[in-house]
Structure 1
């Protein structure tokens, strides 16, 4: 590319093209068709400019892209956890992706054209206090693919720093490779919950993250894994999700979790000095339900499970999870709901001396660990992929996820 430089009366053409620009132009690539979120439940499939290849980066031909729960929050509700899309320019969606390297920057020696790579969608600044402390997932100025104001990976081509594009074995199918990012989340869940061998684990929510978390816990040699969901179809699926290590179901038990109603438990005593609130009555009902679960699963003597993973974002699951968590256990909040506040049983939290934690995405070692787990065959994601769509039918793909009849939906980015 050239720009006119004016210096007094002298006119000259200054070529500012970089070696990267020349290399990408020489490829003669077709239009960079992408899926853009225009507004709530409105998608546009149209070309966007090719991303700029940087000297330390790679240009990836994206082959597969999974749809995540946070994508659905933006698609259905206009944002996630207080980060709205309203007022933002239309942006490319997606952050669970993998593809083929088709060009490398002049400073890159770690990758070559033809490499298969996953795409780490979080681009930290590497300079803030959190990055310097090794917690790049909570970088104060992180740019995350598909978040408001940042283009995502649901396009034919995507450019990123080479160190954020980990190599993956070519034996991993593209559909599975498009699900490496949620497996990296599962690895981070294991780290944040301090999952260890021979522990008991309860997972609330049997969607993709809940199922992947169970697979990771099983790979870590959990003693017992219990699942819960409100949808019978997901409970049935979880019961059939088998281990590649043993050939047997990963979950020891999976239960349908009926919605809590304050009338389930005895409420007000009728005395003027009764301070029982509607939230208290929900909590009492949750305790009663989990006492029954402990009996069925032979955990009454233990008083519950060692680790609770709440992966649904539902208040009922939070209450049930605290009730099922044993004294001194860890409760990890993973799921995101459409609201920002929920009831929480604070007295039980203190009396049980629970360790309550949150989680944001993944940390530096999670992608390599996820790729290794797939390569060694200790986790199998293929059964979770229940539907695939071409990029041109992204709207149908998002509506399929919204219908909740599928587990994991993959979009094929090159099918336009």
Structure 2
């Protein structure tokens, strides 16, 4: 099966009825196409469509090819000044956009991001772009935390030796005695889920982005006692790709800062092997081409 779902490219051919794009347009490719008639799609939540065809999800082939066929309404034009590399980064950025919309992030919010991997970094960056006054990143890798400073971090902390309660206490100190209005859990780790619930203020919101085990244990009393919102997050939906492109074009989110490695198209296999062998070092690897 062909891999790849974070891609951009140039339109080289169109069907007779296509009106939204033309040959020569530079575009970001949204990789998931729902059934146009499902209830979820009609409700405006097409990311939840059970009949979704998503690139590189069996049995659907991915985008790591010279020519890829896409519906016109799942292409977003790249403005002048936005590179193909930046266009390929729109896919994970859209996850961050969707998560922030779900949480309702607005000016002055105190935000905590658990996990400073690719999606965590971008989610924090979007929170700052949406107006959050504090964005605290926690991770166990110092190199990721150093990079978080380019993605809107106001505070960073290595959580490798902290219990969930100690992490919550640290957040409270960093935020001047306050818990977080909004928490984005981006690791999927049990300990981070537990910590996220403790870090969230009464009446606050935690968005679960990270994918860990199918089943986990956490304190439901924490959720009920605080009357907090615990929201699931799955990919992105209507308008998120478009808004992600706008954030890049406006300079409000610098996705180039997350690109750590590059490989040529013919070396794609080596790129995947490299990522597996250097999991703590890699943030985003770009495969360029083909010519």
TM-score range relative to shorter protein: over 0.9
Work out the CA distance in 1 between the residues paired with 2:129 and 2:7. Answer: 23
Unaligned 5+ runs, structure 1: 1-90, 243-249, 261-284
Aligned to 1:406: 282
1:217 to 1:289, Cα distance in 2 relative to 1, 3 A? closer
Report if the CA contact (8 A) 1:333-1:356 is conserved. yes
SS at match of 1:92: coil
Which string of whole-angstrom CA distances, capped at 9 and with x for unpartnered residues, describes residues 361-403 of structure 1?
1011011111111112211111111111112222221233221
Work out the CA distance in 2 between the residues paired with 1:97 and 1:189. Answer: 21
Aligned to 2:192: 317
SS at match of 1:102: coil
Report if the CA contact (8 A) 1:118-1:180 is conserved. yes
Work out the CA distance in 2 between the residues paired with 1:237 and 1:128. Answer: 41
Aligned to 1:287: 165
**Once the 2 structures are TM-superposed, how far is the Cα of residue 259 of structure 1 from its aligned partner?**
5.5
Report if the CA contact (8 A) 1:199-1:224 is conserved. yes
**Once the 2 structures are TM-superposed, how far is the Cα of residue 132 of structure 1 from its aligned partner?**
1.2
**Once the 2 structures are TM-superposed, how far is the Cα of residue 124 of structure 1 from its aligned partner?**
0.4
Aligned to 2:268: 394
Query: Structure 1 or 2: larger helix share?
Result: 2
Question: Is residue 2:242 matched to residue 1:363?
Answer: no
Unaligned 5+ runs, structure 2: none
Question: Is residue 2:45 matched to residue 1:135?
Answer: yes
Work out the CA distance in 2 between the residues paired with 1:298 and 1:369. Answer: 29
**Once the 2 structures are TM-superposed, how far is the Cα of residue 120 of structure 1 from its aligned partner?**
0.8
Question: Is residue 2:253 matched to residue 1:379?
Answer: yes
Report if the CA contact (8 A) 1:259-1:316 is conserved. no
Question: Is residue 2:57 matched to residue 1:181?
Answer: no
What aligned pairs does 1:232-311 form with structure 2 within 5 A after superposition? 232-239=142-149, 241=150, 250-258=152-160, 285-295=163-173, 297-300=174-177, 302=178, 304-311=179-186
Report if the CA contact (8 A) 2:165-2:195 is conserved. yes
Aligned CA-pair RMSD? 1.4
Aligned to 1:352: 226
Work out the CA distance in 1 between the residues paired with 2:223 and 2:159. Answer: 22
Instruction: State the TM-score, normalized to the length of structure 1.
Output: 0.67
Work out the CA distance in 1 between the residues paired with 2:175 and 2:80. Answer: 44
Q: Which moved more, 1:405-414 or 1:320-329?
A: 405-414
Work out the CA distance in 2 between the residues paired with 1:168 and 1:365. Answer: 15
1:200 to 1:103, Cα distance in 2 relative to 1, 3 A? same
Question: Is residue 2:65 matched to residue 1:155?
Answer: yes
Work out the CA distance in 1 between the residues paired with 2:209 and 2:4. Answer: 19
Query: Larger Cα Rg: Structure 1 or Structure 2?
Result: 1
Report if the CA contact (8 A) 2:105-2:131 is conserved. no
Work out the CA distance in 2 between the residues paired with 1:154 and 1:367. Answer: 19
Query: Structure 1 or 2: larger strand share?
Result: 1
What aligned pairs does 1:45-56 form with structure 2 within 5 A after superposition? none
**Once the 2 structures are TM-superposed, how far is the Cα of residue 292 of structure 1 from its aligned partner?**
3.2
SS at match of 1:307: strand
Aligned to 1:282: none
